[in-house]
Amino acid sequence: DQQVKQNSPSLSVQEGRISILNCDYTNSMFDYFLWYKKYPAEGPTFLISISSIKDKNEDGRFTVFLNKSAKHLSLHIVPSQPGDSAVYFCAASTGANSKLTFGKGITLSVRP
């Protein structure tokens, strides 16, 4: 049973526009969420996180929104840049110090 779901396998966006990457989870015990970015032939790198006590966290061009009642979070990238083209993984845990459960990832392509 997949506990973290990224239902869209890919997203294509024009440079300068907004990218919205969605993630759903089923385990109501999850209270800490992270987004990772992965380029080909490299390991994933941490992008941004949010705990369940917040509904928004912002870091530069990246903002994560959390809707606990819907068990849904989204990553907004504004404005999108070609260098943002990568695979993005959503991950969740029961607390910041617990093991992470990852989604399948979504491939973002930003067109120049």
Residues binding another protein (CB under 8 A): 6, 9, 32, 34, 36, 41-46, 49, 89, 91, 93, 95-105
Q: Are 101 and 93 in contact (CB under 8 A)?
A: yes
Write down the least CB distance from residue 18 to another protein, Å.
24
Nearest partner of 108 among 62, 49, 70, judged by Cα: 62
The encoded tokens of residue 90 equal 């959503």
Q: Which is nearer to another protein, 25 or 89 (CB)?
A: 89
Q: Which is nearer to another protein, 54 or 111 (CB)?
A: 54
Write down the least CB distance from residue 40 to another protein, Å.
10
Which positions ≥6 away from 83 have C-beta within 8 Å?
110
